[in-house]
Structure 1
């Protein structure tokens, strides 16, 4: 249930006093949490009953006028506001700029001209995306930009470290491959043979936001699955360095690494609220993909709640994948590291300014914050600890970043050549496409060298048995 910071006001309390419309209740929750923090629950209920019984009396009060207008029915549809870009761009720090394509830099230059922008950063794996570039980080004031979060909301990395010797994978390669085939599923449709359970499916948000109700069935079917493109599930070996912050002995371990997101749920949320943002926030045509939702609006609050649910769902998918695979192989994790990109956070900058911090294809890297930065199916992934660099908005890259478009990668690589590359690197691939071939990505070592100010390396993971989507 939604809760205010005061009085534990719930949507069912609103229903009892006649607030039956989902949008009206969402507006009320947002308004009271912002403007009536010090009211008790009973004081809030009394006020809301009074507004409902005589809304005209509350139109002149800026704290209650939106609720009163909604009750009267004065707001009949979405209005829109025209915004111009600013003349003075906000500061943006670029890391590894020599390896970043101009189109991504231009997208970041555009983002820094938004009137809601406060500060930006571009990570060394950056490349062109929709709205904000992949690898783009943007702090805004009281505004959330759906396309600066991305389509695959909450896409994340998850690493389970297993206390087995490095010879384990060779000895049990057949069993690992069978476990991957039986306990993972890739692609846009379908799911696992056995229905998956997780507490995220019990979230009341599915019922409280009308748009989400029809999405729950697909979310149930897709729980514990992965998408297309660069999503993967792989077993490999991780070498932890001395004095690592995990507190584990410095040696090689077996590890399970996964990369995927919120599946159809996140994509639907992104498309729905992007359309609302573009309808209500009118920018110059070349900047329209950066349309935002004000956080003090009903739509902004709904998107935030839905985005958070999608992030929780993405984590639940990883939880199920790791649990299912480790159980199938009789293994136990001694440590798990995970975090997501394609998300927005409420943060306070060093100067005390409260912002909405978007990381589109960027890893959170606050002081001591752990993350995983993968290379490719043959290149190592890096286990890192953040340095909390303020110029980078406490972020790091989320991977090596693409060096080629998927079309170019497909045109420049044959399946047989890719098999030779994999064999040379000692990697077994289940599924996969030439679009994701190792040469389609930047050199992960160059990317890591460009962000030494952002992260400390704790260990390196080497892929050995990889499963990806096959068209």
Structure 2
């Protein structure tokens, strides 16, 4: 009988805990009713029972096993009845859904402090634009799916007229040296030291994504990710870039940790939800204690994903700099969808989650984009305490993806692109500029958080032709 070949190790690989659950599963599979199941089907069934035990509680055969995976009521975590006070920037145009999600996050027993940025909109768990400081714990969905997603800007000593004179040449460079979405990869991906990190051997979920990480190195995701040529305007003489006031050619990219980051987020969110059962409205805010093995594993995996995202940007900018035949005068890189160990102003150690929010500590540089037809800003953080040293990571969505597709026509998008002098390669209506908030209004609400050193205005934009997944200037 095929199922008799199953062993305890097969179930442990599915995440079955030692003890009664494994014994019950093997005993039940020995039943004559299941004698015709092959090993693959049996394992698939056991996985379903573990992932959704509630669906099997009325099944007389599997009831006892399913109960092993249903959290005991006594384990449920109770939210604090009061919402801790937190600062909201640009509150008048933050949607109610984002506000409610942040309120819930401020009721977690581990929460120390929080803030909501002016680009905030509703997401899963922590809202996009949410900043949450917690005590000795990390929330996988407080970080998000696209771990370590970031902006990277290279500034070249070439005049603005280069954009107009070499438009076709610059478009060809984007076609030749960038890859987007789930199917496009380089025939010969670059090598990078990140691929030799020990986490690829020591953490199961990471190990399973190494091959994909090799193939996707230097590529960008779908929907919200882009690589674009544009005009950099440095307006502040006193800047850490070492670039004089003036106008330059710029290359800006936005992408994250690809399939590696998504796999890490999905796996450890499930683990957290099993370990930390929360009320329905807070279930995606389940956390992992950093004193546990699972918490330490996630922390290592998250940091690896963030550095992998940086390696992808490094490869994008290397390829295009070589094609251009120019070395950058300066570079700026900043990331969001991450968690940092920091000290709060009152001296408490905290894990600070910035989901769709930019670090803005004293003197920290970053780029805050607008939309494909609106300028982004090169900024320097002011270290504001009330925002937990954070700022927005973009303009933030005004319309959902579905709303954008329903309310914006192809003709409207083409006319706007023509009027703004923007060449678009790929993209979709869900990423139309009309779907985003006014970046000037967003910046007006965070004058206390950052100083503006200059701007970046897009001129040639490449995105995934599929136009799906994430949101360009405010994604998960």
Q: Does 1:259 align with 2:229?
A: no
Q: Does 1:274 align with 2:269?
A: yes
Offset of residue 196 of structure 1: 1.5
Gaps of 5+ in 2: 1-11, 14-67, 467-476
Offset of residue 415 of structure 1: 1.5
Normalised by the size of structure 1, how large is the TM-score?
Answer: 0.83
Tell me if structure 1 keeps the 8 A contact 2:333–2:367: yes
Tell me if structure 1 keeps the 8 A contact 2:242–2:330: no
Bigger shift: residues 442-451 or 233-242: 233-242
Partners of 1:140 and 1:91 in 2: how far apart?
A: 14
Aligned to 1:416: 411
Partners of 2:178 and 2:238 in 1: how far apart?
A: 31
Offset of residue 202 of structure 1: 1.1
Offset of residue 301 of structure 1: 0.3
Partners of 2:353 and 2:236 in 1: how far apart?
A: 33
Offset of residue 77 of structure 1: 9.7
Aligned to 2:143: 149
Aligned to 1:72: none
Q: 2:447 aligns with which of 449, 452, 462?
A: 452
Aligned to 2:43: none
Q: 2:214 aligns with which of 198, 220, 240?
A: 220
Offset of residue 469 of structure 1: 0.9
Partners of 1:142 and 1:189 in 2: how far apart?
A: 39
Aligned to 1:433: 428
Tell me if structure 1 keeps the 8 A contact 2:243–2:330: no
1:361-390, CA deviations, whole angstroms, 9 ceiling, x for partnerless residues?
Answer: 000000010010000000000000000011
Aligned to 1:368: 363
Tell me if structure 1 keeps the 8 A contact 2:71–2:277: no
Normalised by the size of structure 2, how large is the TM-score?
Answer: 0.82
Partners of 1:82 and 1:411 in 2: how far apart?
A: 41
Partners of 2:262 and 2:401 in 1: how far apart?
A: 20
- The count of residues paired between Structure 1 and Structure 2 equals 398
Tell me if structure 1 keeps the 8 A contact 2:189–2:216: no
Q: 2:182 aligns with which of 181, 184, 188?
A: 188
Aligned to 1:345: 340
1:322-375, CA deviations, whole angstroms, 9 ceiling, x for partnerless residues?
Answer: 000111121211111001000000000111100000000000000010010000
Offset of residue 79 of structure 1: 8.0
Partners of 2:198 and 2:167 in 1: how far apart?
A: 42
Gaps of 5+ in 1: 1-20, 23-75
TM superposition outliers: structure 1 runs of 4+ over 4 Å: 76-80
3-state DSSP class of the match of 2:208? helix
Q: 2:286 aligns with which of 267, 282, 291?
A: 291
3-state DSSP class of the match of 2:147? coil
1:252-310, CA deviations, whole angstroms, 9 ceiling, x for partnerless residues?
Answer: 01110000000000000000000000001011111111100001000000000000000
Tell me if structure 1 keeps the 8 A contact 2:205–2:263: no
